[in-house]
Amino acid sequence: MVHVHLGELRNDDFEYFRDYKKKKGHEWADEDLKAALVMLTRKKQGAKAANVSGYRKLNPLRDLHSSANESSFEQEIVDLLRKGDLAIIDLSQGSPDLQRIYADRICWRVFNDGMARFIKNESPNFIQFYFEEAHNLFPKKEDKDLTLVYNRLAKEGAKLRLGLAYATQEVSSISSNV
């Protein structure tokens, strides 16, 4: 029996891979698959030791996920709202970056659902957004990007039956488009 470390193996070491390349004219793995394998194994082809950060680069994102959810939280919120239920989302305890990410995702999902209903001429129910400490989420006065979700809600929300109310201590710092 021959013991070989996987890091020492090459495609040319196996007859199947040599024949595959001859028959098909290319290797069995394309560049995307090779990159994914490097990320998962943390090794470049032919390397003996894991010297690439690979999947460990994803560790900071672990806090953004939960194994308890069976569907996206944004869709669960839309489903509740479309049934006429109340959804209170308290993001006050999270980091400012997570607050922004989650608030944006929820708003975009509700906005896009409303737009899809508008385009299909389906009857939407009224949804009222209320934001506290809005200056932490809304675009700043000098920000002229009208594609941000809060600008879109302010400009197009009425036709989608989406209301927007907010409270802030810094009214003058928020974009006039909102």
Tell me: do 110 and 147 sit in the same domain: yes
Tell me: do 139 and 54 sit in the same domain: no
Please state the rounded mean pLDDT for residues 150-171: 89
What's the confidence (pLDDT) of residue 8?
54
Judge whether 15 lies within some domain.
yes
Judge whether 25 lies within some domain.
yes
Whole domain around residue 92: which residue ranges?
Answer: 66-173
- Picking from 17, 34, 60, the residue at the C-terminal end of a domain is 60
Give 137: exposed, middle or buried? Use CB within 10 Å, 0-12, 13-18, 19+: buried
- pLDDT tens profile 26-38: 877 788 888 888 8
- Picking from 60, 82, 97, the residue at the C-terminal end of a domain is 60
pTM above 0.85?
no
Tell me: do 81 and 169 sit in the same domain: yes
Please state the rounded mean pLDDT for residues 82-106: 89
CA distances 150 to 106, 128, 142, Å, are 11, 13, 15
Judge whether 46 lies within some domain.
yes
Judge whether 1 lies within some domain.
no
Tell me: do 89 and 49 sit in the same domain: no
Helices 96-119 + 149-156 axis angle, to 10 = 40
Whether the per-residue pLDDT at 11 is higher than 80: the answer is: no
Tokens of 56: 């460990």
Tell me: do 76 and 32 sit in the same domain: no
Judge whether 178 lies within some domain.
no
